[in-house]
A and B are shown apart, each in its own frame.
Chain A
Amino acid sequence: MAHIELNEIAHSYLKNPKDESDYALKRIHNAWDDGGAYALLGPSGCGKTTLLNVISGLLTPSKGRVFYSGKNVTDLPPEKRNIAQVFQFPVLYDTMSVFNNLAFPLRNRGVEESEVKKRVLEVAEILDLTPFLKKRAAGLAADAKQKISLGRGLVRSDVAAILFDEPLTVIDPHLKWHLRRKLKEVHDQMKLTLIYVTHDQVEALTFADQVMVMYEGEIVQIGTPQELFENPKHKFVGFFIGSPGMNFLACSVDSNIARVDGAGIVLDDNTAALAQKAQGKMEIGIRPMHLEVHTKSVKGSLPAKVKTIEDQGSFKILTVTMAGHTLRARLPEDQTMPSGEAWLRFPKRWTKLFADGRLVNK
């Protein structure tokens, strides 16, 4: 069990990094509570795996320190840290049986054989691997293999945290939910800290209590799935989370009105007050789900042209153009669809203002 703390971590794969773009991790200063389930979400190449390897000790960061429950472990190799890691592809010792695979980390540490047997049987029971114990690991299906990889982490009684690096990539879709549920079960049962790397927002949002969104080597927002959806702190979060992503319109702010090429959108008073001091490129953002679409003009609505309507089954995606900008709206199936002309209303509560990509708020 451990509380993991990253202190001013930065990492570059180059020997002599010159400017910021040479860093795979720019500045990570963050703590993971003991027993929490965290997801690291971000696009490919944003530094998720690098960060995970820094935590597990496979990489020594160029700058900064790593603490486990207050102890500095920055220079300790992975086998000296109480950590387990599950990789994207199942890593097995092909020539060994499932039992020996699970026993391997214990035997390497010189644990007594009776204790090894006890632990392996326990873990096999939790992961439903008992019937396979005598079989060779190489012949099993991908999901069983991935469970073995996880099991090798769980057998160690001293393990503090388990790190997952996109562990469901090679699993068939119909088994994914099953394995994900197993992970949650294991988490509830063993109270381990879990850190789960993924680029799949559904996976991240269903698995974790806290989601950290990474973008270009930085953690841009940490929050519950709901916070990320309703209050994206960074343009990237708005764009990456939700399907389709947030609508963004470049604007200029004029007291409490955001002007988008002739169209005026009213901002709420707090945002408007803060916007007076904000610097940089201004954009307003609104979730497709929060954008109101009317078939005729209502108070505070702006005219737009309907381009396409996509039927997605339980909802419809409407693409409109307003003052030369394209916007998407997500409408419930039963709502009457406008044709040709539509009127859009931007509810104040959901209309967010971004300055240079960052949310304007307190």
Chain B
Amino acid sequence: MEKWESNKAWFLVLPAFIIVAFSAFIPLMTVVNYSIQDIFGPGQSVYVGTEWFKEMLGDHRLHDALWRQFLFSGLVLLIEMPLGIMIALAMPTRGWGVSACLVTLALPLVIPWNVIGTIWIIFTRPDIGLFGVGINSLDLLEVPFDHTAKPIYAWITLLAMEIWHWTPLVALLAYAGLRAIPEAYYQAAKIDGASSWAIFFYIQLPKMRGVLTIAVLLRWMDSFLIYAEPFALTGGGPGNTTTFLSIYLVKLATMQFDLGPAAAFSLIYFVIILLFCFVFYQALLNVGRGEKA
């Protein structure tokens, strides 16, 4: 093929390039810029090199928040993935039930985050909430249920909120994956005398791998970035027990106005998420792949 003499077509990429620059690259670079300076006020800053990074990496409050975050995201994945798959398997495949299920499942997904927080706060309140009053009237708990009373109560409320809000997404993705399996696979399995467990492990699960990869990535990223729910519920308490990374970051940046450390923290946060997404993606892409033919 002949080489084009004029490469003016490259200019057509320019608008997209400028938009991406403003939406992603420039803000990110601002953060990078902040992270290497100590900022006293407008126009007053001192170059400090990697000092903030060193400080943040050694900050025990950041460590605590990070472990809390891992625990939370891990629990979210462990509960939401199997639950979502189970819901998808139980859903009807034809008739009016399909639309009814899809609409019901989609409902939590269209409610804004902080509204969800409010709904659950009211639902679990010990004085007027259906759940709070209900469980306390049973008189089973040593300390009456109140999400501000004990860290475990706050965690349960947060997890319930998160699972209620996002399991439908996993279920919808899994359902789409299930529907895409050709009928012949089930017919062949019937003729081969496969049990429903065998059908699940050897047909349904492998065929759902693509959508489940997306579900794991989305749920990991989203739960790792969780902010609105703990903020609405207890603002990170009781104590610091629900202070996740983003809550701590916002405290640092907007309440204490430590822009330099907060910027360094943001970048570390960003790298952690990127790293984990990469690991999950690679792991799920290669799981059960074994020897290539």
Residues on A facing B (Cβ under 8 Å): 53, 56, 58, 77-79, 83-85, 87-89, 91, 93-97, 104-105, 108-109, 132, 134-136, 138-140, 149, 152-153
Instruction: Write out, one digit per residue, whether chain B residues 280-293 have a CB within 8 A of any chain A CB (1) or not (0).
Output: 00000000111111
Contact in complex: B195, A136 (CB < 8 Å): no
Contact in complex: B202, A96 (CB < 8 Å): yes
For the complex of A and B, list the 6 residue pairs with the smallest distance between their C-beta atoms, beginning with the closest: A139-B293, A79-B193, A108-B193, A91-B188, A105-B192, A87-B184
Residues in chain A near residue B191, CB distance under 8 A: 56, 58, 78-79, 83-85, 105, 153
Residues in chain A near residue B193, CB distance under 8 A: 79, 105, 108-109
Does any Cβ of A come within 8 Å of B26's Cβ?
Answer: no
Contact in complex: B190, A95 (CB < 8 Å): no
Residues in chain A near residue B250, CB distance under 8 A: none
Given known contacts A95-B202, A95-B206, A108-B198, is B291 in contact with A85 (CB within 8 Å)?
no
Residue of A nearest to B190 (CB): A78
Contact in complex: A132, B194 (CB < 8 Å): no
Residues in chain A near residue B192, CB distance under 8 A: 79, 104-105, 108, 152
CA distance A89 to B183 in the complex (A): 11
Given known contacts A135-B293, A139-B292, is B195 in contact with A91 (CB within 8 Å)?
no
Instruction: Write out, one digit per residue, whether chain B residues 2-20 have a CB within 8 A of any chain A CB (1) or not (0).
Output: 0000000000000000000
CA distance A139 to B290 in the complex (A): 11
Question: Given known contacts A104-B202, A109-B193, what 15 new A-B pairs fall within 8 Å (CB)?
Answer: A78-B187, A78-B190, A78-B191, A79-B192, A83-B191, A93-B203, A94-B207, A95-B206, A105-B193, A108-B192, A136-B289, A136-B291, A136-B292, A136-B293, A139-B293
CA distance A85 to B190 in the complex (A): 10
Residues in chain A near residue B43, CB distance under 8 A: none
- The one of B184, B206, B207, B291 in contact with A135, judged by C-beta atoms closer than 8 angstroms, is B291
Given known contacts A105-B193, A136-B289, is B202 in contact with A149 (CB within 8 Å)?
no
Instruction: List 9 A-B residue pairs with CB atoms under 8 Å apart, sorted by A's residue number.
Output: A78-B191, A79-B192, A87-B184, A91-B188, A93-B206, A94-B206, A104-B192, A104-B194, A132-B293
Cβ distance A86 to chain B, nearest Cβ, rounded Å: 9
Does any Cβ of A come within 8 Å of B58's Cβ?
Answer: no
Contact in complex: B291, A134 (CB < 8 Å): yes
Does any Cβ of A come within 8 Å of B270's Cβ?
Answer: no
Cβ distance B184 to chain A, nearest Cβ, rounded Å: 4
Residues in chain B near residue A105, CB distance under 8 A: 191-193
Does any Cβ of A come within 8 Å of B164's Cβ?
Answer: no
CA distance A93 to B185 in the complex (A): 9
Instruction: Write out, one digit per residue, whether chain B residues 170-198 have a CB within 8 A of any chain A CB (1) or not (0).
Output: 00000000000010110110111111001
- The one of A58, A85, A89, A108 in contact with B182, judged by C-beta atoms closer than 8 angstroms, is A89
Residues in chain B near residue A139, CB distance under 8 A: 292-293
CA distance A148 to B189 in the complex (A): 14
Residues in chain B near residue A108, CB distance under 8 A: 192-195, 198
Cβ distance B293 to chain A, nearest Cβ, rounded Å: 3
Contact in complex: B187, A58 (CB < 8 Å): yes
Would you list which residues of chain B between 249 and 293 have a CB under 8 Å from chain A? Answer: 288-293
CA distance A58 to B188 in the complex (A): 10
CA distance A139 to B193 in the complex (A): 24
CA distance A56 to B184 in the complex (A): 13
CA distance A79 to B192 in the complex (A): 6
Residue of B nearest to A59 (CB): B187
Cβ distance B45 to chain A, nearest Cβ, rounded Å: 57
Residues in chain B near residue A53, CB distance under 8 A: 187
Contact in complex: A77, B202 (CB < 8 Å): no
Residues in chain B near residue A97, CB distance under 8 A: 290
- The one of A83, A88, A138, A140 in contact with B184, judged by C-beta atoms closer than 8 angstroms, is A88
Residues in chain A near residue B291, CB distance under 8 A: 134-136
Contact in complex: A87, B188 (CB < 8 Å): yes
Cβ distance A127 to chain B, nearest Cβ, rounded Å: 16
CA distance A132 to B206 in the complex (A): 21
CA distance A105 to B202 in the complex (A): 13
Residues in chain B near residue A56, CB distance under 8 A: 191
Given known contacts A87-B184, A87-B187, A104-B194, is B202 in contact with A93 (CB within 8 Å)?
yes
CA distance A89 to B202 in the complex (A): 17
- The one of A79, A91, A109, A136 in contact with B185, judged by C-beta atoms closer than 8 angstroms, is A91
CA distance A87 to B187 in the complex (A): 9
CA distance A77 to B186 in the complex (A): 13
Residue of B nearest to A77 (CB): B190
CA distance A132 to B188 in the complex (A): 21
Cβ distance A199 to chain B, nearest Cβ, rounded Å: 17
Would you list which residues of chain B between 177 and 236 have a CB under 8 Å from chain A? Answer: 182, 184-185, 187-188, 190-195, 198, 202-203, 206-207
- The one of B185, B289, B293 in contact with A140, judged by C-beta atoms closer than 8 angstroms, is B293
Residues in chain B near residue A135, CB distance under 8 A: 291, 293
Cβ distance A90 to chain B, nearest Cβ, rounded Å: 9
Cβ distance A290 to chain B, nearest Cβ, rounded Å: 42
CA distance A132 to B292 in the complex (A): 11
Residues in chain B near residue A88, CB distance under 8 A: 184
CA distance A135 to B206 in the complex (A): 17
Cβ distance B206 to chain A, nearest Cβ, rounded Å: 5
Given known contacts A56-B191, A108-B195, is B184 in contact with A136 (CB within 8 Å)?
no
Residue of B nearest to A97 (CB): B290
